[in-house]
Amino acid sequence: MSKVQVTSRFAVALAVLALAAGGCRDRGQALEAGAAKAPPAVVLAKDGLTAYTIVTGAQPLLAEQTAAKELAEYLGKVTGAEFKTVAENATGPQPAKAIYLGWTAFAASKGIECAKLGQEESVIRTVGDSLVITGGRPRGTIYGVYDFLQKDLGVYWLDHQTEVVPKRPTLALDALDRRAKPGFFYRHLYDVFLMGGGPFWPADPEMRQKVASFSARNRLNDKGRRFVAAMRPYGGVETYGSSYPVGHNFHFFVPGEKYFAEHPEYFAQDKSGKRQSCTGHNKGSLCLTHPEVRKIALARLLDVIAADRKEFPPGTPASPDQPPPSIYHFNQPDNDVFCHCPGCREMVAREGSESGPLIDFVNELADGVRDRYPEVRVMTAAYWWGMVPPKTLRPRDNVIIHWCNWYGFPGSNIPEPWQPLSSAVNAVRAENLRQWSAIAPGGLLIVEYGDCYTWPGFPFTSAPLLADNIRFLADNHAVGLWLHSEMHMPWEVNNERRGAEFFAYANGQFSPLYYWLAMQLMLDPRQPVEPLIATFMAGYYGPAAPTMRSLYDKLVAAVAEKFRSLRVGDPMNPETQLGAIVSREQHETVMRYIRAGSAEGARLVCGGKSPQGPEFEKGLFVEPTLFAGVTNQMRIAREEIFGPVLVAIPFDGEDEAVAIANDTPYGLGSGVFTKDLGKANRVLRRLHAGTVYVNTYNQVYPQSPFPGWKQSGIGVERGMHGLLENTRYKNVIMDISGRPISWF
């Protein structure tokens, strides 16, 4: 859709979001009765007109020129006014009212030392009736513009085609003084638009530029080397060096085609003593303790670094907005092949892990590049056979560990990508992360696979985990995040069809929400996620968002009223609707879950206590309890309580309802309430539970099976299936033809 259509379609949502914009005067703070409201620090526009001019530095970088264009364009969209841009006059007078952008003499005169700011660090400050937006180079200033537009004006870019732009003909700002930088130095989304088979690469350059603009405005700083040209106007990218033709690249450094025939000893030896060539990302491996292999790999790395610096000369006018690559991969193959030669086995035995020879090898590479290229960091993966950290070896401070949150992790009894890393079921992986964090001074760059390999068309059910996982990673020395967010769909849609059907799959999987949340959380891992979801829903769904929220609130109120009317008491009394808890231990378990729900931020609507009175003295009772404001990250939503506790979670549409219902390690029972039997049949087939109730609940029949899926029990009870659980099967295959046996 065009931008004009976006604006008209979401007019109601934009008005709502305008009131929520962070720095706009109309939002303000709640004032005590009688208190006077301070006048605005800056009035950028009044009734669609402006007296302000955007003033850049005398010699702005390309990214700073883009920042001026973006600021003028979106200030114009918000206010309707035309904001002109001029370069700062070093000797003559400046405009009477100005927005000083980038490395200006005015900013320097106010004590802002731009050269000391990080390359993505920004400063936003009101000085009198002037506004200063500046930052480090190359991306600090343009990131400051996007930070200002989002936080202070309420402008958002929700997907490649949808933007939210409030209309504010009069734009007044309170005093601002903010310094910010992203929460991770490296931020990457590996999505369908980067995949070689994706529908928009490389045939559609217009869509490629839209992807680049969307990524830059949400402050992703890498989309791969193929996007370098498209991202250059936005300050370039933190692209990997040319040693990254694929992620698993031993063969790039020591190719088997070149060396194996004459030097098979350079390559991994198997247990029988045979050597296997390394010729691809998942074929063979290297002998990591062989000294000649290390010399060849270091020479190759130095050649690649030198070539990259010819392509991206550092600090020259020809390439000021695209710094040369600073991260160079040396990653194990995507297989379980490692060397069994005596030298490698001795180091593995000493270090207690196959990662020992790998870290020792990478340290030698890091030492070899340090003096000539102090800005370069060598990165290697904690992945597959290299997941367990070495006992005594420590990565150098110019080594980054590419830690892969891989859900086939060895030693993890229950691989569970739908629960946060901080949960007990993922304790093995979390402890592994902490171990690497403790020994890696160069930090960890995380590969997060949370949403991968879902069924085509099925929603991303890991989206609610993003906030928990990203905070957990930031707390454990993660310096970068490479989010593996492939959007899966049938082959013919991904590779043959285009346009509306492709985006139908994207929206059906909630990909835009997942992507946008990820980008926002990478900027600030500790911000609350619920306001972000509300912002996205209002902007993306427009007038439908408040209606859906209203329906949700009415449903919660009706359930609470019903709960309060339930008769709790002696189970032998025929008028009792809710009896006692079965044991003291289970009573304490239920109360513990109720306390956990409140502690995790859910809103207790009713209940939550043990009822008091003479009629409750001979039993252990819990009031019917209802929580609202619940997310699937919370224990009360994900775990089996076995008590009178209900949680209310809003959803938008059938797909999201199914995703929420299935986003749990348990699957004993589920229910569908609807007047549409066709919808009921669709949904019950998709629910991952042993029993599905339709327009009823807890009806039990002895002749029907009672199975539990996932972690909800083993086998089947009741019915013929329950009887068959107590039988054994024997398979007998007998040939009575008398003919000779054929093996084929």
Give a three-class secondary structure readout of 161-193.
CCEECCCCCCEEECCCEEEECCCCCEEEEECHH
Q: How confident is the model at residue 237 (pLDDT cuts 50, 70, 90)?
A: confident
Tell me the β-bridge partners of 381. Answer: 402
315-319, 497-501, 527-531: segment of lowest average pLDDT = 497-501
| Closest residue by Cα to residue 619 from 578, 589, 564, 565 | 578
Residue 69 has pLDDT above 90, yes or no: yes
**How high is the pLDDT of residue 486?**
55
CA distance 599 to 630: 12
What backbone phi and psi angles, to 5 degrees, belong to 144? Answer: -60, -40
Residue 604 β-bridge partners: 627
- Tokens 């891989």 sit at which residue? 406
246 pLDDT higher than 60: yes
Please check the confidence at residue 95 and state whether its pLDDT lies above 80: yes
The Cα-based distances of 67 to 187, 235, 509 in angstroms read 20, 10, 33
pLDDT in tens, 549-584: 565 567 667 767 877 788 888 888 888 888 888 899
pLDDT value for 180:
96
Q: Decide: 529 and 517 in contact? Cβ < 8 Å.
A: yes
Report pLDDT for 340. Answer: 97
Extents of the domains making up the chain: 3-180, 183-237+397-407+415-542, 240-396, 545-724
Please say if the pLDDT value at position 345 is more than 80. Answer: yes
DSSP string, 436-488: HHHH-TT-EEEEE-TTTTPPTT---TTGGGHHHHHHHHHHTTEEEEEEE----
* Residue 54 identity: I
Confidence of residue 48 (pLDDT cuts 50, 70, 90): very high
- Distance between CA 573 and CA 558 in Å, rounded? 26
pLDDT value, residue 469: 87
Answer yes or no: are the C-beta atoms of 343 and 366 closer than 8 Å.
Answer: no
- Among 477, 479, 465, smallest CA distance to 221 is for 479
Half-sphere exposure of 119 (CA within 13 A, CB side): 17
Instruction: Grade residue 422 by pLDDT with cuts at 50, 70 and 90.
Output: confident
Going by C-beta distance under 8 Å and a sequence separation of 6 or more, which residues neighbour residue 573? none
User: 31-45, 85-99, 154-168, 533-547: lowest mean pLDDT where?
Assistant: 31-45
According to DSSP, the residues that pair with 661 across neighbouring strands are none
The mean pLDDT of 330-348, rounded to a whole number, is: 94
* Dihedrals phi, psi of 403, to nearest 5 degrees: -80, 125
In 564-607, DSSP assigns E strands to: 603-606
Reply yes or no on whether the pLDDT at 411 is more than 60. no
Q: Which CATH architecture has domain 545-724?
A: 3-Layer(aba) Sandwich (3.40)
* pLDDT for the residue numbered 290: 98
Q: Are 390 and 351 in contact (CB under 8 A)?
A: yes
- CA dist 10 and 163 (Å) reads 9
Q: Which of 23, 40, 17, 48 is nearest to 133 (CA)?
A: 23
Contacts of 496 (CB under 8 A, 6+ apart): none
Residues 6+ apart with CB under 8 A from 63: 137, 138, 139, 141, 142, 233, 234, 235, 236, 321
Q: What is the pLDDT of residues 213-236, one digit of tens each?
A: 999 999 999 877 777 888 889 998
- DSSP annotation of 55 reads E
Q: Any idea which of 26-40, 123-137, 212-226, 719-733 has the lowest mean pLDDT?
A: 26-40
pLDDT of residue 743: 59
Distance CA 167, CA 157 (A): 15
Q: What pLDDT, on a 0 to 100 scale, did the predictor assign at position 731?
A: 82
Question: What mean pLDDT comes out for the span 198-227?
Answer: 75
Structure tokens at 254: 């020591």
Between 268 and 496, where is the model more confident? 268
Percentages helix, strand, coil for the chain, rounded to the nearest 5?
40, 15, 45
In this structure, the number of other CB atoms found within 10 A of the CB of residue 734 comes to 4
* Eight-state DSSP code of residue 355: H
Average pLDDT over residues 115-137: 96
SS3 string, 28-45, reads CCCCCCCCCCCCCCEEEE
d(CA 103, CA 115): 8
pLDDT at res. 601? 84
Strand partners, 647: 627
Q: At CA 554, angle to CA 550 and CA 559, rounded to 5?
A: 150
Residue 212's pLDDT band (cuts 50, 70, 90): confident
pLDDT computed for residue 460 by the predictor: 46
Residues with Cβ within 8 Å of 94's Cβ and at least 6 positions away in sequence, in order, are 55, 88, 106
The pLDDT confidence band at residue 77, using thresholds 50, 70 and 90, is very high
Return the higher-pLDDT residue of 314 and 111.
111
* Residue length of the chain: 744
Q: Which residues in 677-698 are b (16+ Cβ under 10 Å) and which e?
A: eeebeebbebbbbbbbeeeeee
Give the N- to C-terminal CA distance of the chain in Å, as an integer.
Answer: 59
In tens, the pLDDT along 137-169 reads 999 999 999 999 999 999 999 988 889 999 999
Could you report the per-residue pLDDT of 362-406, keeping only the tens digit for each? 999 999 999 999 999 999 999 888 889 999 999 999 999 999 876
Joined tokens for residue 391: 């006992």
**C-beta separation of 645 from 625 below 8 A:** yes
Residue 276 pLDDT level (bands cut at 50, 70, 90): very high
Does residue 534 carry a pLDDT above 50?
A: yes
Please confirm whether the linkage preceding 138 is cis (ω < 30° from 0).
yes
Percentage of the chain exceeding pLDDT 70: 82
Between 3.30.379.10, 3.40.50.2000, 3.40.50.920, 3.40.50.620, what CATH number should domain 3-180 receive? 3.30.379.10
Q: Which of 173-177, 606-610, 717-721 has the highest mean pLDDT?
A: 173-177
Please tell me the distance from the alpha carbon of residue 122 to that of residue 64, in angstroms, as a whole number.
12
